[in-house]
Amino acid sequence: MARVLSDKAKSPLAGIRVLDASTFIAGPSCAALLGEFGAEVIKVEHPVGGDPLRRLGTDSGSDGRSLLWLNEGRNKRSVTLNLKSERGAAMFRDLAAKSDVVIENFRPGTFDKWGLSFETLRAANKGLIMLKVSGYGQDGPYRDLPGFARIAHAMSGLSHLTGEVDGPPLTPGSTSLADYMSGLYGVIGILMALRARDESGQGQMIDVALYESVFRALDEIAPAHALTGKVRGRQGIHTVNACPHGHFQCSDGKWVAIACTNDKMFVRFCAVMARPDLATPDKYATVQARIDDEVTVNRIVQDWTNAHTQAEVQQACNAGEVPCGAVLSIEDIANDPQYAARKTLTDMMVEGVGTLPFPSPLPRLSETPGKLETLGPKMGEGNAEIYGNLLGLSKDDLEMLQNKGVI
């Protein structure tokens, strides 16, 4: 398969070539993560406008590239290619024949219509692995419907659970959560397919649906409903399986998260609050007893946090070995010592702007760590090198293809 001519010999995915033909966030975030660990990622974009992600979110002030593009285009090279044209599709097939992975997230059937089905691509490359990301998956009655992360949150049941008990369903923090979760499942699928290919020599197709990625994270909700018939509703600032387990405001107006998931933790927490009487058998010594009277328990905790600042609550809980953390804003995160110590953010130079922080590669590998080497590329900056080296096209060939709107 492909071999990367670079200094990435120690990277775990060195020698893996990825064609990223996806747009927006789920597929691009998957490809970006692969690139962090040594894969050669070729971003394939339409000649007119490129990936819409280039213009989504905050304009970086660097050649019209958005911050989202700079982040999810990390460690990639960009080529332009009109897949709707016969020549463009043929060139993509030639690239796929020399690649290990293809990523696409168009509506199901779109790649097939362009002559780029998995079966077609695999005919010239039996080891090819193809990731298809879509809102609802490649089959089922909803397969042809457009899907975005917000729709996936609603479809998965997450939106129904998010918000105050008597209020409307709210946005669960990030409107792109389903995209990033699906990107992670895409990476997992690709890595497993690569491992299987080591044994069989055969590639395979990976089908990721945005809504399923989120639904998989909703703990026991499906079997619990089947067993009890209860429909879990919105949970507000607390949860249904433990108590106290939620967000509590402090005297300075700031908030903390406290999580007592078992009885031993609650005993320790009662000692912190100087209320050991609450952990007796006739009171709230068991998880079930606390859940049965959660309104009272949460009110007692809220009364205690209301009497102390956020820092005081954290200090007392930490000393008593009670799980507690400040509810941080991005401003807090930028100044947090834990983020700084672990270098969770990496400063990168943005052309024409200066240095900006970006999320560092994850997960952390002790011997072959990921690297953030470049941010989202300019459109088509890799045309000459990639098409020249991989497809043998000359400068005149590229000029002709550009005039015809193929690249």
Write out the two tokens for 210. 């945005």
The rounded distance, in Å, linking the Cα atoms of 323 and 321 is: 6
pTM attached to this predicted model: 0.92
What is the predicted pLDDT for the residue at 174? Answer: 87
Q: Is 179 a catalytic residue?
A: yes
Q: Phi and psi of 132, rounded to 5°? A: -115, 120
**Which H/E stretch holds residue 230?**
none
* Per-residue pLDDT tens listing for the chain (407 residues): 544 434 555 899 999 999 999 999 999 999 999 999 999 999 999 999 999 999 999 999 888 899 999 999 999 999 999 999 999 999 999 999 999 999 999 999 999 999 999 999 999 999 999 999 999 999 999 999 999 999 999 999 999 999 999 999 999 888 899 999 999 999 999 999 999 999 999 999 999 999 999 999 999 999 999 999 999 999 899 998 899 999 999 999 999 999 999 999 999 999 999 999 999 999 999 999 999 999 999 999 999 999 999 999 999 999 999 999 999 999 999 999 999 999 999 999 999 999 999 999 999 999 999 999 999 999 999 999 999 999 999 999 999 999 999 99
Where do the CATH 3.40.50.10540 domains begin and end in the chain?
Answer: 17-216+345-403
Give me the amino acid identity at 256.
V
- Catalytic position from the list 94, 179, 263, 293: 179
- The correct CATH number of 245-249+255-326 out of 3.30.1540.10, 3.20.20.210, 3.30.360.10, 3.20.20.60 is 3.30.1540.10
**Under CATH, what is the fold of the domain 17-216+345-403?**
Rossmann fold (3.40.50)
What is the predicted pLDDT for the residue at 9? Answer: 53
What is the predicted pLDDT for the residue at 173? Answer: 87
Give me the amino acid identity at 131.
L
Cis peptide before 141 (omega within 30 of 0): no
The rounded distance, in Å, linking the Cα atoms of 153 and 159 is: 5
CA distance between the termini of the chain: 25
CA angle in degrees (0–180, nearest 5) for 147-330-305: 110
Helices then strands, counting H and E runs in the chain, come out as: 18, 13
**Which H/E stretch holds residue 208?**
strand 205-209
Coil, helix or strand at residue 175: coil
**Which H/E stretch holds residue 5?**
none
Distance of CA 48 to the CA centre of its chain: 27
